Amino acid sequence: MKDYYDSVMESVLAINNKTTHRPKIAMILGSGLGGIVDAMEGLEEISYSEIPNFPVSTVEGHKGCLAFGKVNGVEVLLMMGRFHFYEGYSMKEVAYPVFVMKKFGIETLIVTNACGGINKTFEPGDLMLLNDYINFMPSNPMIGVNDERFGPRFPDMSEPYSLELLEIAKKAAADLGIPYQEGVYASFMGPCFETVAEIRMLHTMGADAVGMSTVPETMAANYLGMKVLGIGCITNMATGIQKMKHSHERVLAIANQASEQLSRWLVGFLEKLS
Ligand code: HPA
């Protein structure tokens, strides 16, 4: 069996052969949050199915390709659609694109997601800067024999979301007049939405929002030595806080509405980063 490192390098080689773009910044765009693709010049797309060893996305609202291009002259790589643990992928598959990105030359990763608001001062449609996470998923992409060519056996997670990038994002939001929240993201494996008791527990533990993604990619990116910025879109209030039952359609609808504001913010962030 091909080992993980060789698979990653094979994927990298294929991408290098398919495009001349060499971005240093990548974004993983969550459900309904792909709007920034409209701000890209010289767009070039590579479907996941064209990349050897790449998993294929199954969830509605996710496109399933890597998009290359420039935003205000800055080269970026957009991952349109991510892989979730609840789809049946292993954690190594969920984080696979992040390993590929690292070996492709990506240094900064922006992760976005749709999430449920636990902090009662939040409202659906709010954007939240992630300043930390609580991991409730039952596995981790770095489980197994460690390959030092990627990173250390025991990765430090004292600053999973770069303080430097958080400051830049806050300055960009202030300049653009974009309101935002800030808080701790808790990850559950899904695919069930949480129970009332689970949300009560998460609230007690200090979580501000809950979702079913982002943390595996954040852990892998830190392990690989990348800087990470995380932004969540509060698409609904968490179970028991909102009276309505949850629906994925409503999650997508609110994410789509917030996508334009998020895109403006990301463009402003990229300007300050470069
Ligand atoms: N819980 C988990 N994941 C989510 C939610 C939620 O309330 N909303 C959007 N993604």
* CA distances for 109 relative to 97, 113, 203, 222, 226, angstroms: 11, 13, 28, 10, 7
pLDDT of residue 31: 83
What is the sign, positive or negative, of the torsion defined by CA atoms of 168, 172, 177, 179? negative
Instruction: Answer whether residue 60 shows pLDDT above 70.
Output: no
Per the prediction, the chain carries an average pLDDT of: 95
Looking at per-residue pLDDT, the higher value among 274 and 6 belongs to: 6
One-letter identity of residue 171: K
* pLDDT 10s digits, 111-149: 999 999 999 999 999 999 999 999 999 999 999 999 999
Each residue of 125-156: b (16+ CB within 10 Å) or e? Answer: ebbbbbbbbebbbeebbbeeeeeeebbeeebe
User: Mutation test of ligand 1: which of 202, 246, 254 has the most ligand atoms closer than 8 Å to its C-beta?
Assistant: 246
pLDDT of residue 57: 66
Please tell me the distance between residue 4's alpha carbon and the centre of ligand 1 in angstroms: 31
* pLDDT 10s digits, 216-260: 999 999 999 999 999 999 999 999 999 899 999 999 999 999 999
Give the residue extent of every domain in the chain. 4-273
Q: What is the band of 103 on the pLDDT scale with cuts at 50, 70, 90?
A: very high
Query: Are the CB atoms for 3 and 150 separated by under 8 Å?
Result: no
Please tell me the distance between residue 115's alpha carbon and the centre of ligand 1 in angstroms: 4
Instruction: Answer whether residue 274 shows pLDDT above 80.
Output: no
User: Mutation test of ligand 1: which of 212, 233, 257 has the most ligand atoms closer than 8 Å to its C-beta?
Assistant: 212
User: Mutation test of ligand 1: which of 127, 189, 193, 196 has the most ligand atoms closer than 8 Å to its C-beta?
Assistant: 193
Please tell me the distance between residue 211's alpha carbon and the centre of ligand 1 in angstroms: 5
Instruction: Answer whether residue 59 shows pLDDT above 80.
Output: no
What is the sign, positive or negative, of the torsion defined by CA atoms of 39, 69, 129, 216? positive
pLDDT of residue 62: 56
What's the CA angle centered on 125, arms 172 and 128, to 5 degrees? 45
Query: Are the CB atoms for 190 and 86 separated by under 8 Å?
Result: yes
Q: For the chain, what percent of residues have pLDDT higher than 90?
A: 91
**For 145, how many CA atoms within 13 A lie in the half-sphere containing its CB?**
5
pLDDT of residue 223: 98
* CA distances for 100 relative to 5, 219, 243, angstroms: 9, 14, 42
Give the DSSP H/E element, type plus range, for residue 43. strand 41-47
Please tell me the distance between residue 258's alpha carbon and the centre of ligand 1 in angstroms: 15
Tokens of 71: 């935003």
- Catalytically active residues are 31, 62, 84, 86-87, 114, 212-213, 236, 248
CA–CA gap between residue 164 and residue 104 (Å, rounded):
23
Q: How many other β-carbons are positioned within 10 Å of the β-carbon of residue 96?
A: 24
Q: Which atom of ligand 1 is nearest to the CA of 251?
A: 9
One-letter identity of residue 39: A
Query: Are the CB atoms for 176 and 263 separated by under 8 Å?
Result: no
Please tell me the distance between residue 122's alpha carbon and the centre of ligand 1 in angstroms: 14
Tokens of 109: 């990763």
Instruction: Answer whether residue 199 shows pLDDT above 80.
Output: yes
Query: Are the CB atoms for 171 and 195 separated by under 8 Å?
Result: no
**Beta-strand (E) ranges in 81-188?**
108-117, 127-135, 181-187
Q: Which atom of ligand 1 is nearest to the CA of 188?
A: 2
For ligand 1, atom 7, which residue shows the shortest CA distance? 116
For ligand 1, atom 9, which residue shows the shortest CA distance? 115
Q: Which atom of ligand 1 is nearest to the CA of 211?
A: 3
CATH architecture of the domain with range 4-273: 3-Layer(aba) Sandwich (3.40)
> What lines the ligand 1 site, CB under 6 Å?
114-116, 193-194, 210-212, 235-236, 238, 246, 251
For ligand 1, atom 6, which residue shows the shortest CA distance? 116
* pLDDT 10s digits, 159-173: 999 999 999 999 999
Q: For the chain, what percent of residues have pLDDT higher than 70?
A: 97
Cis upstream peptide for 191 (omega within 30°): yes
Instruction: Answer whether residue 187 shows pLDDT above 70.
Output: yes
Please tell me the distance between residue 159's alpha carbon and the centre of ligand 1 in angstroms: 24
Instruction: Tell me the pTM.
Output: 0.96
For ligand 1, atom 3, which residue shows the shortest CA distance? 211
